Amino acid sequence: MSMEEGKQYAYRYPRPALTVDCIVFGLDDEDILKVLLIQRQLPPYKDQWALPGGFVQMDESLEEAARRELQEETGLQDVFLEQLYTFGEPGRDPRDRIVSVAYYALINLTEYNLQAATDARDAAWFPINQLPPLAFDHPQIFERAIARLQGKVRYEPIGFELLPTKFTLTQIQKLYETILGHELDKRNFRKKLLKMDLLIPLDETQQGVAHRAARLYQFDAQKYQQHKKQGFNFEL
């Protein structure tokens, strides 16, 4: 069918509803990787947990819709947000034909005020390996998000989006171990990471630990952009 015929078809026939769903990853104070879920208050799947999401409005782009949802749920703006995949099996919502464009977001929970999200009686953060049963096809969406995250942290420095601006090398190593699901060699990891020349060592150490305090670092996003233009490839 050509687009022209299709256009007329579109007038005559019903259209699927279009939503966005967000998989919001956050790293908490204890360096645990968590996902934001909403407890449903109405059927179907009443009282079950689900990904935050909502309908796309006629005058906003898909990404704008996702950012709006995110803003409404967490109060956060300017976070890392990327389209993940579009889910459209006819039976995925029992009420109606609903196609959902999934986005995933990376935020760091330590530095911002997320009371709005965490205080809300119907929203909560769950460790990624202790999720409750999820509504709809949200388990599949979550699986795909994890897979994307695992793939992408290896060749793009998106892990830093989850960390506070100042972090220790151990923090980022633990984060990578959590995301990738296996342990990494400390010396090799540090060597590789530091050699990339993307971290600014600070004259500051972590505070309040009962052992030698680790040096803090900052990710140099500007330098990364420069290097990238010159063909440099981040890889861990």
Partner DNA sequence: TCAAAAGTGTTGACGGTACACCCATGT
Partner DNA sequence: ACATGGGTGTACCGTCAACACTTTTGA
Taking CB under 8 A as the rule, does residue 90 contact its own copies? yes
Q: How many CB atoms are located within 10 Å of the residue 56 CB?
A: 21
Write down the least CB distance from residue 229 to its own copies, Å. Answer: 16
DSSP string, 21-81: EEEEEEE-TT--EEEEEEE--SSSSTT-EE--EEEPPTTS-HHHHHHHHHHHHH---S-EE
Q: Which of 85, 112, 232, 234 binds its own copies (CB under 8 A)?
A: 85
In sign, the C-alpha dihedral spanning 10, 140, 102, 152 is negative
Tell which residue, 154, 133, 145, has the closest CA to residue 105: 145
Task: Kindly write out the interface string for residues 145-174 of this chain, putting x where it contacts DNA by CB under 7 A and - elsewhere.
Answer: -----------------------xxx----
Binding to DNA, residues 204-233 (CB under 7 A): 205, 209-215
Closest CA to 81 of 90, 92, 91, 68: 68
Q: Give the interface size with its own copies as a residue count (CB under 8 A).
A: 47
Least separation in angstroms between CB 60 and DNA: 42
Task: Verify binding: residue 53, its own copies, rule CB under 8 A.
Answer: yes
Task: Write down the least CB distance from residue 188 to DNA, Å.
Answer: 4
Region binding its own copies by CB under 8 A among candidate stretches 12-20, 125-133, 160-168, 186-194: 12-20
Alpha carbons 75 and 84: distance in angstroms, whole number: 21
Number of residues that bind DNA (CB under 7 A): 19
Query: What type of residue sits at position 150?
Result: Q
SS3 for 170-216 is HHHHHHHHHHHCCCCCHHHHHHHHHHCCCEEEEEEECCCCCCCCCEE
Among DNA, its own copies, none, partner that 145 touches (CB below 5 to 8 angstroms by kind)? none
Sole binder of DNA in the list 43, 132, 192, 221 (CB under 7 A): 192
Cβ-based nearer residue to DNA, 60 or 235: 235
For residues 230 and 236, give the distance between their C-alpha atoms in angstroms, rounded to a whole number: 19
Q: Which is nearer to its own copies, 42 or 210 (CB)?
A: 42
* Among the listed residues 105, 113, 84, 112, the one whose alpha carbon sits nearest the alpha carbon of residue 158: 105
6 binds, among DNA, its own copies, none (CB under 5 to 8 A by kind): its own copies
Instruction: Report, in Å, the least distance between residue 43 CB and its own copies.
Output: 9
Residue 177: contacted member of DNA, its own copies, none (CB under 5 to 8 Å, by partner type): none
Residues near its own copies, by CB under 8 A: 1-7, 9-10, 13-19, 38, 40-42, 50, 52-62, 69, 72, 83, 85-86, 88-90, 95-99, 101, 122
